[in-house]
Each structure stands twice: as structure tokens, then as C-alpha cells.
Amino acid sequence: MKITPLEFKTDYTETLRAMTAKHVDETSPLERYNALGTLLKDYIGELWANTNKTYRTQKTKQVYYFSMEFLTGKFLANNLIYLDLYATAEKALKELNISLDELIEVEVDQGLGNGGLGRLAACFLDAMSSLSIPGHGCGIRYKNGLFEQKIINGYQVEYPDRWLVNNNVWEYKRASKAVNVKYNGKIETYMENGRLKFNHVDYDAVRAVPYDTPILGFDNNTVNTLRLWSAEEINDVMDFEHFSKGNYVSAFEKKNNAEIITQILYPNDSIEEGKLLRLKQEYFFVSAGLQSILMTFKKTGVPIEAFAEHVAIHINDTHPSLAIPELMRILLDEENLTWDVAWRITTACISYTNHTIMSEALEKWPYFMIQDLLPRITMIIEEINNRFIAKLKDALHYTDEQKIHDMAIIADGLVRMANLAIVGSHSINGVAKLHTEILKNNVLHDFYEIYPEKFNNKTNGIMHRHWLLNANPDLTDLVTETIGDGFKKNPLALRDLLKYREDASFQNKLFDIKHKNKEHLANIIFKEQGLRIDPYSIFDVQAKRIHEYKRQHLNILHIMMLYNKLKENPNLDIPPRTFLFAGKAAPSYYVAKQVIKLINTLADVINNDTSIKDKIKIVFMPNYGVSLASRLIPAADISEQISTASKEASGTGNMKFMMNGAVTLATLDGANVEIMNEVGENNIVLFGLKDDEVYRYYEQGNYNAFDVYNNTPDLKQVIDQLTNGFLPVPKEEFLPIVERLLRFNDEFFVLKDFESYSDAQERIGLYYRDKRHWMKMSITNIACSGVFSADYTIDKYASGIWHVNRKPLDFNL
């Protein structure tokens, strides 16, 4: 936007005065932040209205991205960058004696997601707007986002994330667009004009109220919408009959029962709990979202038969897969279409992303739970299932009862959401090449045989304008002065940096920037934890959800071994290292929480042991979220991506680290494989079992963790140290971890990969010591990270899955 600092200053002071009725110097940082947000919203508002008008009048095909989670983080800095107002605002505010940095700090993260899946949805919204694709988010406005993590006595303790207490400047409540969502009750049937009709009676209705947040495109005047739904009681605030009789608690009961639906985000990552409230949440935003899409569509005057040519609906994992029967319900019961027409439209509209192969994460709902809560939806799922089984038997002549049972949507008293999503959509994509191959050849092979055309790969991507431009401004400046700013819109241009791989002056500048970022992080750690770490040491970072498959404990066991070696020989010549960890564990995931306690216990021992001469330090940074990631990743030298091969569908943390110049230490899992292909084997450090080896062990059952334990003395020593009093905790404290590794035979091959990991660690340490060599690796990683921009990912979703028009891009892959 073209606004001078002087105009900006005038606009800002007026907004601040109108909102606070105070002189500028009497206002609080929160008031100043709110005024800045409000002013930006005013600027954005005009672009937003124009974008919507264009969509309406041109009847453009719209994409709706349904996701249970949107982990957007903060908006202020990104919006300023996207409006090209950052420098202007900084200057104007400075004249008022206000620090923009301080206002950016005031904003709290919108943490409506668990991890990668939710962050992906946020990065995709950005890319859709930035590519001028008419694409919007649809989700839930949880009053409490992912819990706040504190570490007390080494343990994770969870606190509610009350992100709305100071009100959210970026959203608009659209009360006039509220809709009702119906639960429970029963279905009555009757005949009308020779057609069987269904009537839902005695239901409980909940009001779904949308809150819209503008999603800006980068420098292109496009503003799309993130619409999050909030549950409210239908008859306003309370039950007057109860109230007037003095039953004050019951008077608010209905209101509370309704509002509880959007009270909390379930904190489980990669585990499903099958809770009724979760099912209510899933139907809640799916039903509200579809109703509002129908209303918008009807305003265009296009006949309903052409719905699929004007609307694409994408479901992020199976959580929104009730969109399939819900869209069927609307088309059948409200639009009076026949089953065949409704089915053609539904499958043509809906596409599905699979995020996991782990069976504990696959959603399956007890049949009776769904039937009780959603009687009409259950009838439709039943009919979809019957027709699908009939197709297998009659059209495809399947006779293998086991296979038919495995593919059924309803079986063993459960409704399998992945099967529903596959049958009811036209596209199923995996999120990295390896993951998609595993889906096709293994996990979903039976479906691949009958629907090969539905399966495709879309490797995940990240919003490079956040993870580079916003999170690492110094690196952004260096890149811009070296190769120009074309990479901001065309991230593949980062490849031009390859020319500077061996350029000593460029290497030194990059080293200085990394060092400055490390100093900055070290200062934060000192301020928050009173712990001093050396910015000249290697910053070796593992930041992600805590999960056994992600193997934080592999990292820890290796650190213990290093520590033992240093105790034996304090003069051992290793490059000093700081091991940094961050991540939340699901509150119900006991072993993962024990891993956090183990990290902190070991940190206490090692950080206070002066005999090892500060050669290693361990830091656990609490409350991992987008903001912490944005500080941690630009300061990382080593990116730990060490999941058991085949388990990490893609990973996106790996891409963010690489883009900020960290070198990846990795198994050949998820998108690590593609990172290797981009940078070449010399610029990544690999170790461990491959996916097919992992599968072979599972199939043949011939892995024996005890053998590895008994035959690897260094490893045996550290595992014994977990329970022999070596650590200052009761001996049984870490027994559950040891049991998983030995008695339960190490499902994730931690012991099997230990030696290979230790070798890789030693190698990467040697590379770091050779500064020229290291900087060359680092530059290669930055230069090759462009393909992992969500811009490319979304470009492929747009052409390959959604078939939406977009402005042609000036890039070619």
C-alpha cells in the first residue's frame, strides 16, 4: 500500500485516540497493539471487500479448506510485510516513541492446532491468497487453543491457553451469518410426490456463529477468509423459565452444553481417543461450513447441478470427513436431488489428504455413538457403505470376504473415517513421495487397486515468507542484496545462491547472521532460565511434538553416551555442543511426558557438571509454538529429523530448518528423502534403517531389542543408567521408557538405529569444525529450499486436485 509515514502516523494516532480516549503517551502496549491491528484491518477491509466482490460477480470457483486445526500464530508482522507497510509503520511509530517490536511481542499466538497438520493449514491459507486462488479456511474457533506448557520440577504441566482474554483484533464476528447445527433426535420418513422424504425431529440445535479473519496475499491485493465457527446456545443466553423460578444453575445449563463444543482443542497428536465431544466438534464445523457455502453459492444464481464446477472442498485428514454424508444430506433432503446426482456432485467436490499411516491415529467411531448423535448422517453413511460393498461384489466380482471386510466403511461396530473419505472423494493425496508410495503399495493398497486414478502425491510445503522473511530478517536482507528480491514471490530463485557456495565473503556474512541469531536465542534462554549457553557451540535442535516415533529418546541416549565418554576422558576433543529441545507431549501420553522429564533431568546433571568443561549443554525450551519456532529455527546449526523410517508422513519442521541454513541429520523418512534429492547426499547427514527394512522387521517379527542391548556396550551402559540410580530420581522413574525399549521390543527401533545415529553425530560434528565446508553445506541447503515453499505445493493442489483458475505464475518447475 502506498502510505507515507506521516499519513500513517496521523491515521494511527486517530485510531488510538478513538479507541482509548487517551493521549498517546498514556496508552498501554496492549492498547497500542490493538489500535495498530484495528488500523491495518481498516486498510485490509477495502481489499477484502473488493476480492469478495470479484469472486461474486465473476462466479469464480471457490476452494474451501476444511481443517480441525489452523495454527496461524501471530498476524501483525506478517500483515505489515504483506501490505509493504513494515518500514513505514516502524518509522511512524518511532516518531511517537513506540517500538514496533514491542507491539509485535504483545500479540498472543493463535494456537488452534497441535503441530504440523495445523501449521500446514495455516501455511496453505497464505499460499492460496498469495497465488490469487479463491481459497478459504473453515474450522473451529476454540476458546482454548493448545495448552500452555510449563516445566515444573522437570515435568510438563499443562495450563489452559486462554488466548481470547484480551480480545482478538483480527476477527469479525458475523452474527447475521449464523446457522444451526442439529444433534440427536430421530428421523421420520414420509412420501412426497412418490419420493421417500426424511424429517429430523426432536433434535437439539446449537447455533454456529462464524468469526472471519482476513488472510492477505503477498503484495497482490487478494484477501481471502479464514472462517472459524463458535458454538452458542440457540435461545440466546439462558433459559428464562428456569431463571424466573430461581433455578440459576439450570438456567445456564443449555447454554453451557452448547458452548462446550468449541471450548477446547483436543491436545492429542497422532492418537485418537474416540470421545463424543470430539465427534460433536467434527460435525459442528463441517455442517456449519457446508451450510454457509451453500448460502454463498446460491447467491450466484448458478443451478445446484453445477455446484461441483463452482466449489471444491478439501478435507485435511479425516477429521472433516463427515462433510461427505453432510453434503449428501443437504443435496438429497434440502435440494431434492436424486442419490446418483448428489453422489456425483459430492465426490466431484471433495478431496482428501491423508496424514498418517499409524493405526492409532486413524479415526474410527463406535457405530452407536454416531447413530445416537447424528441419526440422518448415519443412515447416509450406511447407504454409502451398502452401495460400496455392492460395487465390490457385483461390479468388481470381489469374493474375498476378508478383503471386503477390510475395505468396508462400517465393520466391527465401528465407522472407519478413512474408508469413508476414500470412497466419497475424487482425490486422495499423501504428503511426501515416500508416504504416498507407502499408501499405494501398503496401507491403502486395496483401495489403490480399485481407484488408482484417485491417488496422488502433494509434498507438503511451508510459508517461506513467514519462515524466512518474517522469522529471519537479516538472512532475508543478505539474500536480497545478493540475488535480488525475486525469491519473495518465486522461491525457486533461491537457487541463485548456489553460485555463492564457495564465496568466502558471502560465507562469512552468513556465518555472522547465524551467530547473531544464536546470540539472540542464548540471551532469551539466559533471561528465561538463567542458563548460559555458548553461541560458538553447535546448536543442535530437535523441536516438534514429543512422540516415540519422532525418537527424542534416541537423541537423549546418544547425549548420555557422549557424557559418559567425556567423564572418562574430560579432554576428549569434540566440538562443543548445545542440544536444544522443544515440544509438547499429549497430556494423556505417559511415556512422552517421561521423555520430557528425562531431558530435563539429564540437563540438570550435565549443565551443572563442571568436570566436562562446558563441552555439552542441554536446554529444554518450554511451550513450543509458532512464535518459539520462529526464534529457535533461525538459530539452529543442526536439524534433528530422526523419526523411524516410514512413520513421519512428511514433516515440515525439516523444511523450515533447511531454509534457515541448518544441516539436516536424518533418517530417510517423509520429505527428508526429497530434501536429500535436492541438496545431494553430501549436504545432508543420513543414518538408520530404511522404510522397507522397518517393514520387513515388522512382517517377519525378527527384531530382538535385547540382542542389540546385549551386544552394544555403550548402549547397554546408558540404558542401565536410566534405572540404576545414576540419575538423581527414584530408580523406577524412567522404567516405563526402558520397558518400551526392551520388554516391549522397541517398536520404533531406537536401539537398532543407535550406533548408526552415533556415527552420524560424530560425522556431522567433524563437518562443523571445517568452517568453509560447513558454510558450503549451509548455503546449499538455503539455496535448495525453495521447492518446499507452500506456493509450489498449492500450485499443484490447484491444478491437479481442485481445478481452479489462478493467475498464471511466473515460475516453472
Residues in contact with ligand PLP by CB under 6 A are 115-116, 119, 544-545, 624-626, 629, 651-653, 656
> How many residues does this entry show for the chain?
813
* CA 503 from centroid of its chain's CA atoms: 36
Beta-carbon count within 10 A of 400 CB: 11
Interatomic CA distance for residues 494 and 576, integer angstroms: 31
Beta-carbon count within 10 A of 790 CB: 29
Residue number, 116 or 217, with CB nearest to ligand PLP: 116
Residues marked as catalytic: 355, 544-545, 550, 652, 656
Task: Please name the helix (run of DSSP H) or strand (run of DSSP E) that holds residue 233, with its range, or none.
Answer: strand 223-233
Task: Please name the helix (run of DSSP H) or strand (run of DSSP E) that holds residue 558, with its range, or none.
Answer: helix 552-568
Residue 236 burial by CB count (10 A; 0-12/13-18/19+): exposed, middle or buried? Answer: exposed
Residue number, 653 or 786, with CB nearest to ligand PLP: 653
DSSP string, 247-276: -HHHHTHHHHHHHGGGTB----SS-----H
Angle at 468 between CA 464 and CA 472, to 5 degrees: 165
Phi and psi, residue 63, nearest 5°: -105, 135
The distance of closest approach from Cβ of residue 624 to ligand PLP in the complex, given in angstroms and rounded to an integer, is 6
Cα–Cα nearest to 114, from 528, 661, 589? 589
Task: Please name the helix (run of DSSP H) or strand (run of DSSP E) that holds residue 310, with its range, or none.
Answer: helix 307-310
Residue number, 467 or 767, with CB nearest to ligand PLP: 467
Cα–Cα nearest to 228, from 113, 355, 106? 113
Output the nine-digit C-alpha cell for 773.
565446508
Please, how many CA atoms are within 13 Å of residue 534, restricted to the half-sphere of its CB?
Answer: 13
Radius of gyration of the chain (CA): 27
Residue number, 208 or 626, with CB nearest to ligand PLP: 626
User: Residue 184 is which amino acid?
Assistant: N
Residue 575 burial by CB count (10 A; 0-12/13-18/19+): exposed, middle or buried? Answer: middle
Residue number, 629 or 635, with CB nearest to ligand PLP: 629
Residue number, 267 or 325, with CB nearest to ligand PLP: 267
The distance of closest approach from Cβ of residue 194 to ligand PLP in the complex, given in angstroms and rounded to an integer, is 54
The distance of closest approach from Cβ of residue 802 to ligand PLP in the complex, given in angstroms and rounded to an integer, is 24
Q: CB nearest ligand PLP: which residue?
A: 653
Please, how many CA atoms are within 13 Å of residue 506, restricted to the half-sphere of its CB?
Answer: 22
Residue number, 351 or 672, with CB nearest to ligand PLP: 672
The distance of closest approach from Cβ of residue 584 to ligand PLP in the complex, given in angstroms and rounded to an integer, is 9
Q: First-to-last CA distance in the chain?
A: 30
CA distances 251 to 209, 255, 258, Å, are: 21, 8, 13
Interatomic CA distance for residues 720 and 737, integer angstroms: 11
User: Residue 597 is which amino acid?
Assistant: K
Residue number, 261 or 649, with CB nearest to ligand PLP: 649
| Cβ atoms 760, 685 nearer than 8 A | yes
The distance of closest approach from Cβ of residue 477 to ligand PLP in the complex, given in angstroms and rounded to an integer, is 23
Helix (H, G, I), strand (E, B) or coil at 473: helix
| Cβ atoms 416, 354 nearer than 8 A | no
